[in-house]
Structure 1
Amino acid sequence: MSRKSDFYSKKIRVEGCGSLFFLKLLRLSAEVIDFLLDYS
């Protein structure tokens, strides 16, 4: 029982980190696009 809940908590933590990384990547790409638009 405790092992199963531990597995789920790890899975949720990994998915949370993944979404956070995705958001950072999205924000970075938006900044790059803004920079390119200003530069051109």
Structure 2
Amino acid sequence: MPRIMVVDYGEDDPSKCTARKMVRKGVATRISVRGI
């Protein structure tokens, strides 16, 4: 499984929850949060 870097912009982005779930599953290696 390839390594995925998830980048989210702002807390209003619904993909932030999905990104955190991906990290817990070990799919994504890092989350960069911007726009706060």
| Pair in the same fold by TM > 0.5 | no
Higher helix share: 1
Higher relative CO (Cα under 8 Å, sequence separation at least 6) belongs to 2
Bigger Rg, structure 1 or 2: 1
TM-score, normalised relative to structure 1: 0.34
Q: Could you say which structure has the higher strand fraction?
A: 2
**TM-score computed with the length of structure 2 as normaliser:** 0.38
